[in-house]
Structure 1
Amino acid sequence: MFGIYLRRELSRRKKAALVVAMGLALGIALVITVDSVSAGMTQAQGKVLKSLYGLGTDMTVTKARSAPKAGGSQGPNFRFDARSSGEASQSSDRVMTQGGQALKSSLVGKVAAQKGVAAAVGALSLNVTKVDGSFTQGKATSSAGTQQRGGPGGGDGGGRPQVQGGGANFDVDSYSVAGVDVTHQTLGPLATVKITSGRTFTAAQTNAKAAVVSASYAKQKKYKAGSTFEISGTTYTVIGIATPDSGESTTDVYLPLKQAQSLGDAKDKVTTIYVKATDSQQISAVKKTIQGNVSGTTVTTSADLASTVSGSLSTASDLASSVGKWLSIAVLAAAFLVAALLTSSAVSRRVREFGTLKALGWPSRRVTRQVVGESMVNGLIGGGLGIALGLAAAYAVTAVSPTLTAQLGGTGGTGGPGGGPGGPGRQTAGNTLEIALSAPVSATTIALAVGLAVAGGLVAGAMGGWRASRMRPADALRSVS
């Protein structure tokens, strides 16, 4: 009997059933879209923060730079020898540490010994500025017999010598260098890259004049495995080309830590200590332990950095988490209300039918079950349509892949080698990254959609069933014209 009435009702009231189903479908589709876009933005933000540290890194330990002393050097300076030749080519490299004040290498072991720390690895961040070019001497000329005003006595002073031509033409190239512990490459700067050409360092190359360069820098300089280049007079051989797991890295050159320390005049120094906790649920406790036992350092976790991410990624995330979710709730509430009102209205038009059924012996609970069952079918149809619309919208967002920017603010000298994140997307300027947004739909989201469809059917059925249960057989007789 239930199936007979169900088929008849859906066929007789197609428009009403379609309106109820479409209302629920739109609300469910909006929920799926907002949830999937929010998941995509969370995923993008997570990739940015993960790539800043390295795979498996839970926190970094750094030390903020102290203010420069009065009269001290405020920036890079270059010195060139004076030469008599007219066009002498000259070159100079300026190597400076960056990413925070240098720490003693012994602190790496101290951090590793703290409770809750599984591993700790030190790295040194350098910036190399190369100035390469030449000076050209000018030629002194004199124009004899020309009137020279303002000379001694106001008379003709003859031709004064003038310098013509000459000058300087220099190119400036700046790139980042990361000194890595080649014996622990699974934690730290090299953890987020894979070698696509050549090879990485071996454990024996702790002080080798070898280098791994990023794919983008290798393309710019036309390097390949076997190429050589110089830094401050030391020749290095490229042994591998590194491609980040996602996007581009701000680190251009990777060197063994000892070589980087030698270049930066930072013997037994590091700028960043990468830390992996034994339990990811105890990161806050480990942070407090390190801060309490290793004085003068700044411990930064991904949670700390999340608040520094700004730009359109942060704006869109805020909109999705606030406006988007509230809009979804409002649309769902409206869809539930419309479904309930339409179901109640349909019950009102079936007074004769339900009154007659009660006169034939149907109890109120059976009438209520019939109405709720019909509403549940409408809800499931609406849920199916909503899931289809939501998946289509999520697929469209992923296909279009709108570009969002993420800017990472300063955190007291923290950051990956090179002074900034090597995160997904394309580096534009400083710590600004461009991320292609995707909208992944999880099984949890689909389950949520099904639950909402069932809930919508139950809400509508409950109101309609309540009204149907209050009908009496006498109502059917009064409705007969």
Structure 2
Amino acid sequence: MFLIYLRRELSRRKKAALVISMGLALGIALVITVTSVSSGMKQAQTQVLKSLYGIGTDMTVTKAAEAQSSSSARPKFNFDAKSDDSSTSQSSDRVMTAGGQTLASTKVADVAKQTGVSNAVGALSLNVMKVDGTFTQGKAKSTTSGGTGEGGQGGGQGGGQPGVQGGGASFDVNSYTVYGVDTANLTLGPLSSSKVTTGATFTSAQSNAKVAVVDSAYAKTKSLSVGKTVTIKSVKYTVIGISTATSGDSAANIYIPLKQAQTLASSANKVSTIYVKATDSQQISAVKSTIQKNISGTTVTTSADLAKTVSGSLSTATKLATSVGKWLSVAVLLAAFLVAALLTSSAVSRRVREFGTLKALGWKSGKVTRQVIGESFVNGLIGGALGIALGLGAAYVVTAISPTMTAELGSTTSSAGGPGGGGMGGGPGRQAASKAIEVALSAPVSLTTIALAAGLAIAGGLIAGGFGGWRASRMRPADALRSVA
């Protein structure tokens, strides 16, 4: 009887049911859209952070910044003078540790022993400034005067004056980044944000080998390929692999074994950055505090710290989606619930004769209430289905269009070698303290979001039905008689 009456009443009031369902559907669709876009923006931010950290890295440890004199960071180039050649070629490499700050390699083991740390790997970030060109030696000549000196014709004070004509110099300056990586642990650290697409990556046996992995963009610029060599500070390294950044941004131009990088920079047993993976991603703040407390003179930078330095359209849109978008969704959803409740109550008011008659026939108030709630429940299911369909459609459109967002990466410290750090090189492998990265936005919809949307739709229907059922339960048979008169 209940289901038969329910089906008949819904069929008889199709327009009213459709209006209530569409109101709930719009609210549900907005919730799904905002939630999916927010999820996509979080994924985009994670992608940007991985371009700095590398996959699997939760935080980095660097040496605390110290005051440095300007002269200590000023690059110097010394060339040998050669008088036997009229034109000589000169070349010199200046290898500097990014940020000028290093830690003892023993600190890597100290960090790995801390509570909450799953793994720790050291790396050395270098900036290489190469200057090469030619000197051209000038020729000495003297100029003569046409006058006559006191000592006789053509002599005396009217003689020639010495001078140099011709000569000069032409030099080219090339700056690039080199990263020394631990070949025994490549799953953590700077190279983990790239994928070797040509050739091979390092092996643990190549801990001190003269081999290199080159970033694809740099390899294209310098016409490098597997098997060719690159020269750094007069040392030739054989290219064994070409890597491509998986996040769309390169951490360094050239990767070499850590021991080789330490030799180039005259920094034996030194690292500039320690990459740390926590045992529990929910306890990163606690691990950070533990490291800073137990290992003095270090700066710990987490992904949360780095996220604060991300600006640009991605950051702005993320803030809007998580704050304005969230409250807008709540407001629209509440409005949809309120409209559904009012429409249901209005529909009940127009059914005075019907409910009064049913009560006169012996229907209890509870049964009348259940009837109204049942109708609203079905309306909620219909609204939920329509809302989920609209929300999935909107998310698909956003993913299909894939609007490009820009993330500006700033500095977290002035000179430390941590991610985004400033100073010469900007941070691990960075050539500047700020860099723009473009990320395509998607709008993934999870099963949790769909379940939440369905639950909200059902809740909206039940709330509207409960309010309308309460009004229907208060009607008396006498109200039906008055409406007939």
What is the deviation of 1:193? 2.4
Aligned residue for 2:204, secondary structure, equals coil
Distance 2:432 2:105 in 1: 33
Deviation per CA, 1:343-368, whole angstroms, max 9, x where unpaired? 11111111111111111111111111
| Partner AA of 2:228 in structure 1 | S
User: Using a 3 Å threshold, how does the CA distance of structure 1 residues 167 and 403 change in structure 2: closer, same or farther?
Assistant: farther
Distance 1:422 1:246 in 2: 15
Aligned residue for 1:479, secondary structure, equals helix
Distance 2:21 2:342 in 1: 13
User: Using a 3 Å threshold, how does the CA distance of structure 1 residues 143 and 28 change in structure 2: closer, same or farther?
Assistant: farther
Distance 2:269 2:42 in 1: 38
User: Using a 3 Å threshold, how does the CA distance of structure 1 residues 295 and 64 change in structure 2: closer, same or farther?
Assistant: closer
User: Using a 3 Å threshold, how does the CA distance of structure 1 residues 380 and 160 change in structure 2: closer, same or farther?
Assistant: farther
What is the deviation of 1:219? 1.9
User: Using a 3 Å threshold, how does the CA distance of structure 1 residues 370 and 130 change in structure 2: closer, same or farther?
Assistant: same
Gaps of 5+ in 1: 147-156
Deviation per CA, 1:440-470, whole angstroms, max 9, x where unpaired? 1111100110011001101111111111111
Q: Contact 2:73–2:100 at 8 Å: present in 1 too?
A: no
User: Using a 3 Å threshold, how does the CA distance of structure 1 residues 334 and 116 change in structure 2: closer, same or farther?
Assistant: closer
State the partner residue of 2:354. 353
User: Using a 3 Å threshold, how does the CA distance of structure 1 residues 130 and 367 change in structure 2: closer, same or farther?
Assistant: same
Distance 2:387 2:400 in 1: 20
Aligned residue for 2:19, secondary structure, equals helix
| Partner AA of 2:92 in structure 1 | S
| Partner AA of 1:349 in structure 2 | R
What is the deviation of 1:240? 0.8
Distance 1:415 1:388 in 2: 42
State the partner residue of 1:226. 227
Q: Contact 1:117–1:275 at 8 Å: present in 2 too?
A: yes
Q: Contact 1:216–1:248 at 8 Å: present in 2 too?
A: no
State the partner residue of 1:153. none
Q: Contact 1:51–1:422 at 8 Å: present in 2 too?
A: no
Q: Contact 1:34–1:320 at 8 Å: present in 2 too?
A: yes
Distance 1:320 1:363 in 2: 48
| Partner AA of 1:390 in structure 2 | G
What is the deviation of 1:80? 3.2
What is the deviation of 1:419? 4.2
State the partner residue of 1:268. 269
Q: Contact 2:177–2:429 at 8 Å: present in 1 too?
A: no
Matched, 1:365 2:366: yes
User: Using a 3 Å threshold, how does the CA distance of structure 1 residues 81 and 459 change in structure 2: closer, same or farther?
Assistant: same
State the partner residue of 1:76. 75
What is the deviation of 1:318? 1.1
Aligned positions of 1:81-480 closer than 5 A: 81-83=80-82, 85=85, 87-99=87-99, 101-136=101-136, 167-412=168-413, 413=416, 414-415=418-419, 419-420=426-427, 430-480=434-484
Q: Contact 2:426–2:433 at 8 Å: present in 1 too?
A: no
User: Using a 3 Å threshold, how does the CA distance of structure 1 residues 165 and 380 change in structure 2: closer, same or farther?
Assistant: farther
User: Using a 3 Å threshold, how does the CA distance of structure 1 residues 37 and 86 change in structure 2: closer, same or farther?
Assistant: farther
Distance 2:429 2:348 in 1: 62
User: Using a 3 Å threshold, how does the CA distance of structure 1 residues 320 and 261 change in structure 2: closer, same or farther?
Assistant: same
| Partner AA of 1:215 in structure 2 | S
Distance 2:347 2:396 in 1: 37
User: Using a 3 Å threshold, how does the CA distance of structure 1 residues 138 and 383 change in structure 2: closer, same or farther?
Assistant: farther
Aligned residue for 1:77, secondary structure, equals coil
Q: Contact 2:411–2:434 at 8 Å: present in 1 too?
A: no
What is the deviation of 1:415? 1.5
Q: Contact 2:51–2:248 at 8 Å: present in 1 too?
A: no
Distance 1:231 1:470 in 2: 89
| Partner AA of 1:348 in structure 2 | S
What is the deviation of 1:48? 2.4
What is the deviation of 1:300? 1.9
What is the deviation of 1:386? 0.8
Compute the RMSD of aligned alpha carbons. Answer: 2.8
User: Using a 3 Å threshold, how does the CA distance of structure 1 residues 422 and 287 change in structure 2: closer, same or farther?
Assistant: same
| Partner AA of 1:75 in structure 2 | R
Aligned residue for 1:204, secondary structure, equals helix
Distance 2:57 2:135 in 1: 48
Distance 2:448 2:164 in 1: 78
What is the deviation of 1:15? 2.4
What is the deviation of 1:144? 9.3
Q: Contact 1:64–1:100 at 8 Å: present in 2 too?
A: no
Distance 1:22 1:143 in 2: 99
User: Using a 3 Å threshold, how does the CA distance of structure 1 residues 422 and 400 change in structure 2: closer, same or farther?
Assistant: farther
Distance 2:111 2:2 in 1: 70
State the partner residue of 1:27. 27
TM (norm. structure 1) is: 0.89
Matched, 1:15 2:36: no
Percent of paired sites with the same residue: 72
| Partner AA of 2:344 in structure 1 | T
Deviation per CA, 1:326-357, whole angstroms, max 9, x where unpaired? 11111111111111111111111111111111
Query: In terms of mean alpha carbon deviation, does 409-418 or 113-122 score higher?
Result: 409-418
Distance 2:406 2:162 in 1: 58
Deviation per CA, 1:64-98, whole angstroms, max 9, x where unpaired? 3422236x244223333445555543322221100
What is the deviation of 1:162? 9.1
Distance 1:141 1:399 in 2: 74
User: Using a 3 Å threshold, how does the CA distance of structure 1 residues 2 and 88 change in structure 2: closer, same or farther?
Assistant: farther
Distance 1:57 1:36 in 2: 25
| Partner AA of 2:341 in structure 1 | A
Distance 1:158 1:34 in 2: 90
What is the deviation of 1:21? 1.3
User: Using a 3 Å threshold, how does the CA distance of structure 1 residues 37 and 142 change in structure 2: closer, same or farther?
Assistant: farther
Deviation per CA, 1:118-138, whole angstroms, max 9, x where unpaired? 322211000112223334567
User: Using a 3 Å threshold, how does the CA distance of structure 1 residues 251 and 416 change in structure 2: closer, same or farther?
Assistant: farther
Distance 2:20 2:135 in 1: 81
User: Using a 3 Å threshold, how does the CA distance of structure 1 residues 460 and 161 change in structure 2: closer, same or farther?
Assistant: farther
Distance 2:213 2:46 in 1: 26
- How many residues align? The count is 467
User: Using a 3 Å threshold, how does the CA distance of structure 1 residues 141 and 363 change in structure 2: closer, same or farther?
Assistant: farther
User: Using a 3 Å threshold, how does the CA distance of structure 1 residues 195 and 469 change in structure 2: closer, same or farther?
Assistant: same
